[in-house]
Amino acid sequence: MRKRNFVLIAVSIILLVFVSLAIAQAPVPSSAKKQTTAGNYANAMQAYEMWQANPEKVKILDCRTPEEYVFLGHPDMAHNIPSSVWTGVWNSEKKSFDLKENPDFEAEAKKRFKEDDTIMIMCRSGNRSATSVNRLTKAGFTKVYNIIDGFEGDKVKDEESYYNGKRMKNGWKNSCAPWTYHLDPKLIYAP
């Protein structure tokens, strides 16, 4: 009887993992900036549900700058490994500060994750995370997903709306998935 119960529980867990992986696969994003060589996509809620189903093997990686991670908030369980870091140099053409590639990104990911972990990567809106997915795939990670709506989501495009131009459409923060401003020393990036 004990053996039968064990087998039933094991089969149930395996099915739950496979179902959660099947659910998480979002369609290829229409924006080329959000597409990856790995071809694995999830929205924020799908990523959260995958993590809930198997937190030991599914990891959430927030590749935004430490400043974004700290001051805008982040998912409770997200590791912060920035794929780009702030330069402090103003780019008048882009009307923003330039970022430069973090040369330690892949090495830091290898310290924290196993190559067969499922890694769900988010940035602000899904563009930098696509680049990060490509970098980790090239570094040998085999199950890497782009969270296509990121932490803040996409901009509202409605001239009639007060939220026009603001990141209030989809994204982790707008999906009601848990997030925090609290900093866990085990999860933060400290070069």
- Sorted by where each begins, the domain ranges of the chain are 2-180
- 11 pLDDT more than 70: no
Residue-averaged pLDDT of the chain: 90
The pLDDT of residue 21: 47
- pLDDT for 30 equals 84
Q: Quickly count: other Cβ atoms within 10 Å of residue 37's Cβ.
A: 12
SS3 of residue 158 by DSSP = coil
Contact between 83 and 128 under an 8 Å Cβ cutoff? The reply is yes
Mean pLDDT of 146-157: 95
Can you name the CATH fold of 2-180? Oxidized Rhodanese; domain 1 (3.40.250)
Residue 5: pLDDT band by 50, 70, 90 thresholds? low
Is residue 125 helix, strand or coil? coil
Q: pTM (2 decimals)?
A: 0.84
Q: Phi/psi at 155 (nearest 5 deg)?
A: -80, 140
What's the confidence (pLDDT) of residue 19? Answer: 46
Give the residue-averaged pLDDT of 69-88: 97
pLDDT of residue 168: 87
Bridge partners of 84, per DSSP, are 101
* Residue 35, CA distances (Å) to 26, 59, 129, 158, 191 in order: 12, 20, 10, 25, 29
* Mean pLDDT within 43-71: 97
Percent of the chain exceeding pLDDT 70 equals: 87
